[in-house]
Chain A
Amino acid sequence: MAKNQESSKKSESPQKYDKKFLTGLLVDMLNIRRFEEKAAQMYGLKKIGGFCHLYNGQEAVAVGSVAALDLKRDYILTSYRDHGHALAVGMSADSVMAELFGKITGCSRGKGGSMHMFDAERHMLGGNGIVGAQIPIATGVAFASKYKGTDGVTLCYFGDGAIHQGAFHESLNLAAVWKLPAIYIVENNNFGMGTAVRRVSSVDDFSVKAAGYDIPGKVVNGMDVLSLYEDLKEVIADARKNSRPWLLDVKTYRYKGHSMSDPAKYRTKEELEKYKEQDPILLLKARMLKDKQITEDEFKKFDDEAKKIAQASVDFAEKSEEPALETMYEDIYA
Chain B
Amino acid sequence: MAEIAIRDALRQALEEEMNRDETVFLMGEEVGEYNGAYKVSRGLLDTFGPKRVLDTPIAELGFTGLGVGAAIAGLRPVVEWMTFNFALLALDQVINNAAKMRHMSGGQLKCPIVFRGPNGPAEFLSSQHSQAFQSFLVHVPGLKVVAPATAYDAKGLLKSAIRDDNPVVVLESEMAYGWTGEVPDEEYLVPIGKADIKREGSDVTLIVHSKPLKMALEAADELAKQDIHAEVLDLRSLRPLDEEAIYESVRKTHRCVVIDESWPMASVGSHVAWLVSRNCFDELDAQVELVASEDVPMPYNHKLELAVQPSVEKIIKAVKTVLYIK
| Chain A residues with a Cβ under 8 A of chain B | 75, 77, 106-112, 116, 118-120, 125-130, 133, 135-145, 147-148, 166-167, 169-171, 173-174, 177-178, 330-334
Contacts and interface: CB of A to CB of B under 8 A. Distances in A.
Contacts of B110: 334
Nearest to B72: A125
A137 B104 contact: no
B102 A137 contact: no
B69 A116 contact: no
Given A136-B93, A140-B71, A148-B74, A108 B65 contact: no
A173 to B, nearest CB: 6
Nearest to A148: B74
B20 interface: no
B59 interface: yes
Nearest to A144: B73
B190 to A, nearest CB: 18
Contact of B109 (A125, A129, A136, A174): A125
A133 B96 contact: yes
A201 B280 CA distance: 59
A140 B65 contact: yes
A116 B108 CA distance: 12
A177 B190 CA distance: 37
B62 interface: yes
9 contacts: A106-B106, A133-B97, A136-B66, A137-B93, A167-B92, A174-B57, A333-B144, A334-B110, A334-B111
Contact of A137 (B65, B106, B144): B65
Interface of B: 23, 25, 51, 54, 56-57, 59, 61-75, 77, 92-93, 96-97, 101-112, 141-142, 144, 165-166
A167 B66 contact: no
Contacts, number: 150
A164 B111 CA distance: 27
Contacts of A127: 104
A330 B166 CA distance: 14
Contacts of B105: 108, 112, 116, 118, 120, 126, 331
Given A140-B65, A144-B74, A116 B104 contact: yes
A127 B142 CA distance: 18
Question: Which 6 A-B pairs give the minimum distances between C-beta atoms?
Answer: A140-B69, A136-B65, A170-B62, A109-B106, A144-B73, A108-B106
Nearest to A142: B69
Contact of A331 (B70, B73, B103): B103
Contacts of A110: 106
